[in-house]
Every structure is written in C-alpha cells, then in structure tokens.
Structure 1
C-alpha cells in the first residue's frame, strides 16, 4: 500500500489527474485504478472526478493480481543465428505486451523458448524492431543482440529492408502499378483508426496488381477483387490498410477499414487478407544478404480460391531484389 498526502499547491485537482502525476502513469491508467477501488481518500473509496483537497491522505492499495496466461507456442522459425531470427507469425498473435494484452504475446513465446532478446527503448518490446498487426500473418525480424537491434533499426529507418506483402482488396485499382506517397496519422474522427492526414508522418507504399477475381454470388460491381503485391517504403501503423483504403480499395476482411462485410462473408474472409510474404535485408553484423519467403497460410489460400484466384508465385513478391 502507498500513502500520499495532497500538498497545498495541488488543492482542487481532479483525483485521476493528480494521481497520474504522482505516479508517473497515464491518466487512463490512474482512472482504471480508481474505478477498480484501489484508491481511497481518507479511507473512503473515491470517484475519479473527485477534487482533492490539501492535506488529504490518498491511499493506493495493491491491485488484484491476475494470473499470467500460458505463453503461446513459438511460431515457426525461418532463420536464426546468434544475432537475429525471423519467425513466421500467425494471425491472431499480438507481437508484444500492451494495453489489453499484458501477456500471451510473441515476446512471451520467445522468452519461454529461451531465445535471447536484445533490450530496446521500451522494456515491453525486447528484440522488436518492427511489427505486424495482430491479424496479419507473415515474416517478422527479431533482434537477439544489441548490435543486431541497432543495425536493423538503422536499416529500417534508412529504408534498406525490403518488406513485401500480399493483399486482396475490394475492387480493382485503375492503375495496375502505383505509388502511394501520403502522410499517416490518427484519424481525427476516430482515435482508434489511422488515416491519411496533412500533418501525419511521411509514408510510402508501392503496389502492383497481380490478378483480378470476384465473388460469384455477388453482382459484378460488388464482388470484384484484386490480388496485389505491396512493398513498404516506410513502416507506419496500419500503413497498408490505410493507404489502400485511401486509394479506394480497402483490404478484404478488414473490420476497421473495410466497408464491405458482404464481400468478406461471401469469400469467407474472417480476418484481413494481408500477409507479410517476403523479407530481404543485409545482415546487420555479418553483411550477408538474407532473403526469405513465406507462402500464404491455408485460410488465405481458401479465400483466394473462392475468388477464382491462385496464390501468388514467389517471384511475384520478390521481383526486383
């Protein structure tokens, strides 16, 4: 239990704001502790909106502990040496702990397997140099040594890591090849989403149409889809999902950005049809070239089949290396 006393200069502050400042945590985190009954003011459970008064004694009781879940299985390892590894992350696996996901992540699986993870800027993200969304499958680089972490971080910043994705999108892009150079930031109308915004961070995506298909049970204007090879020039949160939506062709099965649930149902897409299929990088320590390819998982191949499409060939996603 932690005991705090409100000084005269803090008189009148909201309890959640005051507590966040005292503990060095976010206001949301402070509010969560208050709502859980972990905070009392002069031995009375208080509301987050309560105004604190000078001289009051604030007690912070220990939060109830929730047993940690079992770590998930280690995903397939496609490359490993003493400095780094590459895993094939399955859809549904969160990369590192965060809000709403305190455990059961890829980081937990790596730790449980005894794999060394390089310390990073944030304690919850050891070894993590880039990420994949929870429901995106495919290849992910992990740093085991500090040298690899520094080298991979620098290579990503310099756009020297080739990251190729396969996506199935709603409709057919007007131009079979294209470049989307548009800044990305928080969507001002929905803070959960990201969007192309004028004051966002620079973001670059290249795409190429591989094939066109359709959901037979829908009218042609509502059932058309396109198979795309995409290349990241930058690595912004939700970048491909946001850029392809801005292009007018959101990813099939995307519940956040995709407007056509009817099309997703018709094709049996239960998650975004997005897969990190190819990865190319110069080894940050040895300098050797690493090029890896990961075929589409079975559930995405089934979606393509329902659209009358075949999975892309390896050369379609590694062209230009």
Structure 2
C-alpha cells in the first residue's frame, strides 16, 4: 500500500482516469463516529501515512460508495472505501536482472555506482524492470545476506531517471542506517554539473526556497517562499564553471536533497536546465531567432536528449571504518558532447 501511494504524484503518464483499477477495499465499521477519511484510512491501513492518503484523494483515487471524495470527507458507518489507481495492481517483488553496471567502488559494506542517463533507479509506475535496483540485485545475487526486497538495505538516495552520475548502495542494514543518517543530517558532499539557459551576472550564488509539488502540474516541483508551511526547505549553491553566452555550465552543490531540487531551483531563478522538457528547458530561451540558430538548438537537443545534469561528485564517511570517501565521475558522453558543441559555438560566434 505505501509503495502504491508513494507513486501517485510521480507517474510519468497523463492519460487521465478513464481506466481505474481497484487496489484496496474496506467497509467502515458500525458505530464509527464521523471522522475525516484521511485520518480514518491512516489509522486503518497498514504502512500508509495521512499525507500520502491526502495526495491520493486530491488526485481523485479515493472513492466512497463508487464516487471520488476529497480528504476532508467524513466517513459514515457502512461506507465502502476503495483505492482506485490508473494502473493494475502489480507485483513489486524485485527480481535480479543481468544489466551492466559501472561500479566505481565496492567493499563488503557498500557500492558506489555511476548511473547512466535513462535508467530508472527503482521500480515504480510504468518501470517495473530494467532499473538500477534490478541490476544491483543481479550483481549481489550470490551474497546471501543481501535481499533486494528488504528495505533495510539497498538504495540510500536517488537521482532522476534522466540524470547521470553517482549513487551509493548499502549492502548491510548497519551501512544503510549510518549512511542514511549522513544524508538526513546533510553531512554528505554532493555536487552536480549542469548546463543551464542564460548568463549570470555573478560567479557564485545561493538559492533558498521550499520545494513542493506544483499545484498546476503533479509531475513537476515548484519553489515556495522559505519558512512557509508549503513544501520542504531546500538550499542550492552554484558556481559558474564556463560561460557560452546563451548557456552556462555551472556546478551545483546541495545542502539538502529534495526531489528535482536543482531543476526546480534553476527554473525558479530564470535559468532552466538545457534540455529539461519538464521545466521548460527545451524552448529557445536565449539567442537569436534566426533559422540557423533554431536548427543549431535542435541539433543540440538531439545530441543530448535529456536535462543536462550529471551527479559529478559524492562524498561521505565510511559507515564502518570512519574514513572519508570521495568520488568523482566523468560526464556522460552525451552531455560532454553537448558542452563541447557549445564551446565551439561560443568561440566562433559573436554573441550579443
């Protein structure tokens, strides 16, 4: 149940709710006092939370007696509550799959992996096979203490499907607990390289703003004023690495790790990531409106058909030895080629 609700606002299709499938059915007990449905379900459905139930209701997936209700609906005795999702119930058991991995480091406690762009990290809506977790399960298939379906081991953090770069996997519960605490307390060191639209007047900067689900687009995050109750606090530091006139290569260092943090923060300050369709980065936001320039941009988008974002460095303290571990990865080939194309363009073009 908890995994199903967790995917509701992260689905990658927008086909609506023409075909809904029942995932849960329950009847309200006789003698039940009137209480909000989100409170009732959070108390009666195992491994779920009130927040996730509210999201399900907002998306129209909670029904009472066959009709969608909002999270403030008050249940009555005899009400039949159903959770209806826009995909069939799927067995989420993680099976090992023979998928190549670029392993940067490995010992008996953890693995550091350089994930390619296009690979989903964890099975979810529409992506039940071919994920990083399936590949790790295959790599560790002969390790009797590693169960890919045990949440106490495995992924410590995530990066987006179309973001390339470094991730750490915990092989033992002790390693995951210790590493998870470091990420929670912001004791890790992570930096990303991003190609963004526009030039900057300054060489460094700091972006602070809460990140939460965009009320106008459930697949996108939005930035809200810091200190408000909307979203979660997020801070990104950036430094200009190279300027190409109409786009800029920047290094982003995370103080926090929120969903789509860099993508949403850069959009918020007027510098969407190049190629980031979800946040407007596939539009021509800077430069001339000539046919040749438009063709050049289209060629760039074909060369790197994703947001130009790479998890470049990762640093943490080893959960057992206490040693500081720092890793750096080379840019993915498509992003490196895109940057070189812009370098050449800026050197040979007079940019106003």
TM-score by length of 2: 0.67
Residue number in structure 2 paired with 1:95? 121
Deviation at 1:170, TM superposition (A): 0.2
Deviation at 1:247, TM superposition (A): 1.5
Q: Distance in 2 between matches of 1:186 and 1:33?
A: 19
The secondary structure found in structure 1 opposite 2:278 is coil
Residue number in structure 2 paired with 1:157? 184
Taking only aligned residues, the RMSD between alpha carbons, in angstroms, comes to 4.1
The runs of 5 or more residues in structure 1 that have no matched partner are: 11-17, 35-45, 215-223, 311-321
The secondary structure found in structure 2 opposite 1:308 is helix
The secondary structure found in structure 2 opposite 1:271 is coil
Listed as ranges, the matches of 1:204-283 within 5 Å are 204-214=235-245, 224-262=246-284, 265-268=298-301, 269-283=304-318
Residue number in structure 2 paired with 1:192? 219
Which string of whole-angstrom CA distances, capped at 9 and with x for unpartnered residues, describes residues 156-193 of structure 1? 12222111110000001221111112221122332221
Is the 8 Å Cα contact of residues 128 and 142 (structure 1) preserved in structure 2? yes
Is the 8 Å Cα contact of residues 96 and 124 (structure 1) preserved in structure 2? no
The secondary structure found in structure 2 opposite 1:140 is strand
Is the 8 Å Cα contact of residues 187 and 197 (structure 1) preserved in structure 2? no
Is the 8 Å Cα contact of residues 313 and 329 (structure 2) preserved in structure 1? yes
Deviation at 1:111, TM superposition (A): 0.8
Count of residues in correspondence between the two structures = 287
TM-score by length of 1: 0.73
Q: Distance in 1 between matches of 2:209 and 2:28?
A: 48
Q: Distance in 2 between matches of 1:301 and 1:291?
A: 22
Is the 8 Å Cα contact of residues 91 and 134 (structure 1) preserved in structure 2? yes
Deviation at 1:57, TM superposition (A): 10
Listed as ranges, the matches of 1:67-216 within 5 Å are 71=97, 73-114=99-140, 126-198=153-225, 199=228, 200-214=231-245
Q: Distance in 1 between matches of 2:112 and 2:258?
A: 20
Q: Distance in 1 between matches of 2:167 and 2:92?
A: 28
